[in-house]
A and B are shown apart, each in its own frame.
Chain A
C-alpha cells in the first residue's frame, strides 16, 4: 500500500525563540476581523518563506546565462530576505494570536525553459518574478504600510518593503541590460511567454475582486482590502509593469490584452 503523502509544514516556533517578541493591540477587533487579519498573516508567513526557493533557483540559471557576479550575489541576498520575511510575518502572526506552524503552499518548480537559450530562459523568469510579482509587491506593501497604525507593524512592513524594492529593481536592471541584445525572434518568443505570465497572475489575483472591503480596524493591522487590492494590481500592471516591458522592446501591451481576453472569455 502506498502511504498517503502528508502536506509539508513550515514550523517557525524554534526560530521565533531567538527573535524579539512583538506585541499588538487587537482589542479593537471583532472576532471575525481578527480571523481575517490572522489568516492574512498566516498566508504572509508561509508564502514569503516558500518564495525563497524561487530566488534560490535563479542562482544556477544566472550562472548558466553567464550574467555578472553582482546578479548572482543579489539573487542569494533575495533568497535570504524571503526567509527573513517569513520569520517577520510569523512574529506578527503570533502577536495576533496565531500558531506559527502551518501547511506550506504548493512548491512549484521554477521552470528551466529548456527550448530557449540560458539567457532567454532566465530573462523569462526574472520578468515574471521581479518585473511583475515584486513590482506589484512594492505597491501592495507600500499601501499596507501607509495604513498600518501600530509602530511594530509599520517597522515590519518597512523592512519588507525595502527588500521588495530591491527585488523589483533587480529585474528591471537585468531587463535593461539584456533586452537590447535580443533578436526579433527572441523578442517574439518572450512576448508570447508574457501572455502566460499575465494570465497566471490575473488568475491568481482575480479572486480578490470578489472579496469585501476590510474594516478600518482590520486594515490598521495589515489586512488586504478586497476589491481595492484588485484595483491596485490592475493599476500597477497597466501603468508600470506593462509599459516598462513595452519600453524594453517587448509586446507587453499586446500580451496583457490577450491574457485579459483569455481570463474573461468564459464569462462573456
Chain B
C-alpha cells in the first residue's frame, strides 16, 4: 500500500509542479543537485529545537519563522550570489 501511495503522490507532483512554473529570472540562481532520498528517522536530529519552534504535522500554514529567532545575517556571506 505504501508503494502505491508514493507512486500516487508522484503523479500528483506533476500537477503541483505546474503551480510553481515561474518565468526564469534574468539571473537565475545555479541550483545544486539535490538528494532525492530523504534522511531516515535515525539520521534526523529532532532535539536541537532551541532556535526554532517545533510544530506538529498539521494543516494550514504555520506562521513564517521570525528572523529574530534565527541569525540569518551570519549566512549572508555564504549565499552563492
Residues on A lying within 8 angstroms of B by beta carbon are 43-44, 47-52, 54-55, 57, 82, 85, 89, 105-106, 108-111, 113, 115, 124-125, 127-131, 133-135, 137-139, 141-143, 146-147, 160, 165, 167-169, 172, 175-176, 179-180, 184, 187-189, 191-193, 195-197, 199-201, 203-210, 213, 216, 219, 224-225, 227-236, 238-244, 246-254, 256-258, 260, 263-267
**Interface residue total, chain B, C-beta cutoff 8 A:** 69
The 17 listed contacts between A and B (C-beta, < 8 Å) are A44-B58, A109-B63, A113-B67, A137-B60, A138-B12, A139-B13, A165-B19, A169-B19, A172-B22, A191-B79, A201-B62, A213-B2, A232-B9, A240-B20, A248-B22, A253-B30, A265-B45
CB pair A264 B61 closer than 8 Å: no
CB pair A105 B58 closer than 8 Å: yes
Tell whether A179 pairs with B60 under 8 Å between CB atoms, given A191-B79, A209-B38.
no
CB pair A111 B19 closer than 8 Å: no
Shortest A204–chain B CB gap in Å is 5
Shortest B55–chain A CB gap in Å is 5
Tell whether A228 pairs with B60 under 8 Å between CB atoms, given A169-B19, A251-B29.
no
Most buried by A among B2, B12, B73, B80: B12
Chain B interface, DSSP helix/strand/loop, else mixed: loop
